[in-house]
């Protein structure tokens, strides 16, 4: 079982999006005036939609150490402060949402298996609901999804740090928040968790071999 720390910005709906289950045990770190989160024992740091990027900027060295230790970061929000190593998110409202479409660019780990990309593009027939703005990724990172204009909106970065950085351009993902939608964003989230679990098992085997 993976152990995940979820950054908690005091939003009322967060606990519904990250309920512990057989695959992941979630622990919440609530932001306050003296935010000093504990990541010890965690495999994944999750920064969900609606997070506090002033607080994250103040703890960016702790995040960097977490990644340097080989762990995983999942940020499903727009990080307007520079706390994510190697990658920048930029808001942009100049493109009409009716023109937004997504395409898979590179899926090395099969995280889009079974995911209906139209569930990310459309909600009740309306396009452009999921991501906002775009990511300027580390050029060596792998872009999972790009938008109509070829801009990265989901990235898996295994090069900026010894850890794994999974980013969406504020496209919300969660564990249980999309239950009931076959092939929807919930499946993408679970596939990403599966990838991190496999990656962790691979590292454990290598460590044992060494």
Partner 1 sequence: MSGIGLLFNGVWSHYAFATAPKYRGLYRLIYIHDLTRESIASLDALAIPFQSNHEAIARRRDIIYEFLAAGGKVFVEGDSSPAWIDAQWSDRPVNNWWWVTEPNNPPVADTDYAHPLFQGLAPRHACWHTHGVYTRVPEGADVLQRNGDGEIITWQTTRYGGTLLATTLDPIVEHGVGQITHLDNFCDNLTAWLCGVRPEPGTMTVDADAFGIDRFG
How far apart (Å, rounded) are the C-alpha atoms in residues 33 and 20?
Answer: 27
Q: How far is the CB of 164 from partner 1 (least distance, A)?
A: 21
**Residue 4, token pair as written in the block:** 């995940």
In this structure, the number of other CB atoms found within 10 A of the CB of residue 15 comes to 13
Q: Does 148 bind partner 1 (CB under 8 A)?
A: no
H or E element that contains 46: strand 44-47
Per-residue string for binding with partner 1, 64-103, x by CB under 8 A? -------------xxxxxx-----xxxxxxx-xx------
In this structure, the number of other CB atoms found within 10 A of the CB of residue 67 comes to 21
Instruction: Calculate the dihedral angle through the C-alpha atoms of 191, 196, 199, 200, rounding to the nearest 10 degrees.
Output: -140
CA distance readout (Å), 199 to 36, 48, 54, 86, 169? 28, 22, 30, 21, 23
The answer to whether residues 1 and 23 touch, using CB atoms and an 8 Å cutoff, is yes
Q: How far is the CB of 72 from partner 1 (least distance, A)?
A: 22
Identify the residue among 27, 65, 129, 199 touching partner 1 (CB under 8 A).
129
Identify the residue among 57, 105, 117, 197 touching partner 1 (CB under 8 A).
57
Q: What are phi and psi of 45, to 5 degrees?
A: -110, 120
Q: Does 50 bind partner 1 (CB under 8 A)?
A: yes
SS3 of 208, please?
Answer: helix
Q: Which of 8, 51, 10, 53 is nearest to 27 (CA)?
A: 8
Q: Does 137 bind partner 1 (CB under 8 A)?
A: no
Q: How far is the CB of 198 from partner 1 (least distance, A)?
A: 31
Q: Does 124 bind partner 1 (CB under 8 A)?
A: yes
Q: Does 147 bind partner 1 (CB under 8 A)?
A: no
Q: Does 128 bind partner 1 (CB under 8 A)?
A: yes
Q: Does 31 bind partner 1 (CB under 8 A)?
A: yes
Using the rule CB under 8 A, give the single segment among 49-57, 174-182, 183-191, 195-203 that binds partner 1.
49-57
**Residue 169, token pair as written in the block:** 């351009």
# of chain residues touching partner 1 (CB under 8 A): 41
Using the rule CB under 8 A, give the single segment among 63-71, 101-109, 117-125, 197-205 that binds partner 1.
117-125
Contacting residues toward partner 1, per CB under 8 A: 9-12, 30-33, 35, 50-57, 77-82, 88-94, 96-97, 123-126, 128-129, 132-133, 170
């Amino acid at each position: 079982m993976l152990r995940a720390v979820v950054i908690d910005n005091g939003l009322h709906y967060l606990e519904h999006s990250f309920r512990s289950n057989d695959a992941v045990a979630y622990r919440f770190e609530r932001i306050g005036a003296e935010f000093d989160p504990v990541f010890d024992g965690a495999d994944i740091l999750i920064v969900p939609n609606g997070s506090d990027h002033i607080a994250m900027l103040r703890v960016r060295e702790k995040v960097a150490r977490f990644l340097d230790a080989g762990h995983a970061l999942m940020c499903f929000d727009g990080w307007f402060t520079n706390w994510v190593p190697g990658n920048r998110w930029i808001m942009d409202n100049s493109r009409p949402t009716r023109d937004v479409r997504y395409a898979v660019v590179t899926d090395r780990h099969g995280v889009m298996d079974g995911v209906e990309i139209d569930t990310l593009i459309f909600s009740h027939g309306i396009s452009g609901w999921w991501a906002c703005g775009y990511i300027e990724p580390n050029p060596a990172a792998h872009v999972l999804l790009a938008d109509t204009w070829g801009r990265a909106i989901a990235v898996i970065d295994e090069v900026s740090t010894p850890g794994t950085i999974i980013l969406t351009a504020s496209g919300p993902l969660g564990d249980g928040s999309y239950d009931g939608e076959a092939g929807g964003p919930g499946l993408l989230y679970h596939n990403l968790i599966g990838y991190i679990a496999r990656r962790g098992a691979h590292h454990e085997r290598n460590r044992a071999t060494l």
